[in-house]
Structure 1
């Protein structure tokens, strides 16, 4: 493989090669399927110890691959999605809040390039199906998704003007830069999105392909339309672990079960096509569970932390399967944040970065292959001019409070003064200063 130099400059990682986006010598050319769940923290999955919901397919995926115990998104939707695609922290890429009429920004994919653009330049067929949430109405930004590197686009039209549209039943659709509402009539959004993703895999089975499936599920709403259930599959009596609690919680359990079912269908299609050993599948979530939802993690209750800079707001599931490359049943304790997907997926595809292109992410690709690598010693989460930085044992908040995570990261205790905490505070403050010095 072509050697590349790795430099750390004021917190940014700069990849340098002798060419622009290139295919490395004798590359592994796997297909890549990236599934992003909407509003689901790690505590919800059985493989993470959750006991409130039915997640057999995601649990099976973890048993067949690798589960990362410490993957951190941002606490809300748009910033996480921007970080994932660009490999740059939100204070650099400009998407620091949820994109809404009061914050009508869009991701600048000419300035902040996406790894999808680089995969496409290297010959990958690229598809996105589902929720974008990196600009306002597609009618005003017709080329935005194509400009991010996706040749095939089958989307929920989240905004019609400044109005948020339906996305469960009867979704408003936007297909390859055109409005296509009639196709969503009497349909469930994620049935359409998952089927399109699977059809793209069938059409491009000779590969390599990249499929990004950002689900409109799970979210938390249950009022999805007159005469419609929360999901196409109503749970049978006795199957709902939350049947005795408020309807919103019970509806959420249905949505989680259906989310899991669709993920299982997509992975099963990879297997049916005979592509399992040449397909890297990643399942993760864009932020923590909604705060109206309480889940059981073992025998303890965890309230959702969406829109909070907390463990519950930022710790998300991350499951990776690649038979023949990733040994089954592994648990990774290394810290990962959403900027790390950019270099990892390019490494997996054997694609070199453009000259002197700076990102914040660090590749965890060696971990997938069972190799040692210089893992992160901290993750940095930034939202609306506030932040935290955490390592394995401690977390420093932007208000100066230092927390001890060793007993319970969900309900941490104030860190007591000691040589260890003094050193942790010093290193965290230095890391944050270096990050923002490069801004």
Structure 2
């Protein structure tokens, strides 16, 4: 099927949202939190013996293991999945999750490896995701009568952000939309003809990669917010926000502010809401507050857990031009601190839902886009790049499962799962690869999937319950999970493997050709 024939469906989805007969009060709200570059092993409830230290190396030092009391509670009272797979890196993984499809259809094969289309200009252009896959999670939510908001990182290059099915957006960094931000000098600008960048804050030439800050004093853009004069514009955009913006402005907190304001408005209007919160937390970033830092994970505001709740210490930062004093109000660097700040964010969500009286009618889904930097990100070794955390907390939804679930889940499953939760349908002739997780969660069904699949350009990865094929063409015995979640035994002699292992190898091998069109259909075909 040529998926591009569905381009007109973008307009039909908008109409469906306007004429939906669904009553908001009967539909659960949904908050999808999509963290960045965080392997399952970084979450303590996964029980890994190994995690990541601030330098990016493996460690078993308990000082560098995140403390996550809120995640631990939700994992115990909700549902968490032992083996959930993404793709190996950001863009194709987000494409998988947003579309419910693999790269053989959506054509986002790897970062900077996108299918091309001829738009009549001199050079073919990377295809926008909604052209190959126009029915996505935002569109489904609108179709079901939900108010939709997208907040955080986007990673959707070459695209019109108003065509993803979201009513409003708070995007960090906003430079994805505009370029150089006039509100902040926390930017690394690419030097023409060189591989280096200039730090606008210090004027120094460095070797990192071009970026505007998505943490401290960030680059932020708003889409269709009531305060906007244009559909998409820079923030701060009001006298009040301009007055408060500065060194202590922290993008993840800005995202939460706009999310909560949106939730309050839409709840007051009697509409169910769908929040797509694509956190930057977990992703590396240049440390503008400490340019000499040896960690890729800049510190966060300090938060303290007292056994019942979090207290956030108000940041105090003074200085300029790369020399700053944080006065003990910014944490040490490291991915464990990012995970802990995510835990704080989830606590904020829980407190807000309780305050509004909608905790039992709101579903929280937490997952990540790929493995941790240096350990798993972009790796096709075993499941280092693909194994991500996956948790669902759905009080009031009569789930039949609780706690650890030893099943296989693909991020492609989120789209059909949302369709079931929201009470809307995917057209029968619109091809997807995901399978709804909702029947498993709400019935006595004992198994969800027989296999999960991932990709990295022309490399394919697949696993079942007993065996796994990685991107190097190596087979691994996954019938038992090692303490570090990755040290599986390689299968080199199939004569010594069990008949069940060999049978599953044959079944998985027979599946791969269905998705193996990187060299034959790399680009979408427009008819």
Same fold? TM cut 0.5:
yes
> Structure 1: how far apart are the matches of 2:457 and 2:447?
30
Q: 1:46 to 1:401 in 2, by over 3 A?
A: closer
2:190 paired with 1:164: no
1:205-354 mapped onto 2 (5 Å cutoff): 205=267, 206-221=270-285, 223-225=287-289, 230-233=299-302, 250-291=333-374, 304-309=375-380, 310-325=382-397, 326=399, 329-354=402-427
Q: 1:390 to 1:192 in 2, by over 3 A?
A: same
Report the CA distance between 1:340 and its aligned residue: 0.4
1:43 — aligned with what?
41
| Contact 1:221–1:252 (8 Å) recurs in 2 | no
> Structure 2: how far apart are the matches of 1:249 and 1:412?
33
2:74 paired with 1:64: no
1:349-364 mapped onto 2 (5 Å cutoff): 349-364=422-437
Indicate the SS of the match to 1:358.
coil
Q: 1:343 to 1:412 in 2, by over 3 A?
A: same
| Contact 1:393–1:405 (8 Å) recurs in 2 | yes
> Structure 1: how far apart are the matches of 2:98 and 2:413?
10
| Contact 1:79–1:90 (8 Å) recurs in 2 | yes
> Structure 2: how far apart are the matches of 1:167 and 1:333?
35
Which protein, 1 or 2, shows the higher relative CO under an 8 Å CA cutoff with sep ≥ 6?
A: 1
Deviations 1:249-289 (A, max 9, x none): 95332222212111221232122211111111101111111
Q: Which moved more, 1:360-369 or 1:398-407?
A: 398-407
Q: Which moved more, 1:420-429 or 1:144-153?
A: 420-429
2:227 paired with 1:147: no
Q: Which has the larger radius of gyration?
A: 2
1:30 — aligned with what?
28
Q: 1:435 to 1:25 in 2, by over 3 A?
A: farther
1:406-425 mapped onto 2 (5 Å cutoff): 406-407=479-480, 408=482, 410-415=486-491, 416-417=493-494, 418=497, 419-425=499-505
Indicate the SS of the match to 1:313.
coil
> Structure 2: how far apart are the matches of 1:108 and 1:220?
25
Report the CA distance between 1:234 and its aligned residue: 6.8
> Structure 1: how far apart are the matches of 2:460 and 2:350?
35
2:226 — aligned with what?
none
2:514 paired with 1:434: yes
| Contact 2:107–2:132 (8 Å) recurs in 1 | no
| Contact 1:339–1:361 (8 Å) recurs in 2 | yes
> Structure 2: how far apart are the matches of 1:173 and 1:69?
35
Q: 1:328 to 1:360 in 2, by over 3 A?
A: closer
> Structure 1: how far apart are the matches of 2:256 and 2:288?
19
Indicate the SS of the match to 1:382.
strand
2:129 — aligned with what?
108
Q: 1:121 to 1:26 in 2, by over 3 A?
A: closer
| Contact 1:234–1:254 (8 Å) recurs in 2 | no
Q: Which contiguous aligned blocks of 4+ residues in structure 1 show a shift greater than 4 angstroms? A: 19-28, 160-163, 226-229
Indicate the SS of the match to 2:109.
coil
Q: 1:328 to 1:334 in 2, by over 3 A?
A: closer
2:5 — aligned with what?
none
Provide the alpha-carbon RMSD of the alignment: 3.2
Deviations 1:52-87 (A, max 9, x none): 111111112212211111111112111111111101
1:239 — aligned with what?
none
Report the CA distance between 1:312 and its aligned residue: 2.6
Deviations 1:128-153 (A, max 9, x none): 110110115xxxx5xx2221100111
Q: 1:106 to 1:185 in 2, by over 3 A?
A: farther
Report the CA distance between 1:390 and its aligned residue: 0.4
> Structure 2: how far apart are the matches of 1:158 and 1:412?
42
2:234 — aligned with what?
180
Q: 1:119 to 1:373 in 2, by over 3 A?
A: farther
2:86 — aligned with what?
73
Report the CA distance between 1:403 and its aligned residue: 1.2
2:140 paired with 1:118: yes
Report the CA distance between 1:25 and its aligned residue: 8.8
> Structure 1: how far apart are the matches of 2:152 and 2:365?
16
| Contact 1:38–1:218 (8 Å) recurs in 2 | yes
Q: 1:370 to 1:164 in 2, by over 3 A?
A: same
